[in-house]
Amino acid sequence: MNETSVSAFDDGFQLASRALINVITNDEQLSNKTKLNILERISEQLTALGKVD
């Protein structure tokens, strides 16, 4: 992959992540505890993606 395609992917991934987080935090039907649980799971998954074995 060249730098342009990686950058485009990273930009898209970042936008998608922000959109999901905004939807979750602004959803009035979810309790704060549910929001926290979902956001913690997302954080765990994103952290796991960044780890190199």
| Residue-level pLDDT at 4 | 57
- The token pair that represents 32 in the structure block: 């704060």
Better pLDDT: 19 or 3: 19
* DSSP secondary structure, 23-36, as one string: HHHH-TTS-HHHHH
Q: Cα(29)–Cα(16) distance, rounded to whole angstroms?
A: 21
Better pLDDT: 35 or 10: 35
Residue 39's region, left for phi above 0, alpha for psi from -120 to 50, else beta, is alpha
Mean pLDDT of the chain: 87
| Residue-level pLDDT at 2 | 56
pLDDT digits (tens, 9 = 90+) for 5-28: 668 888 898 899 999 999 999 999
| Residue-level pLDDT at 46 | 86
Helix (H) or strand (E) holding 51: none
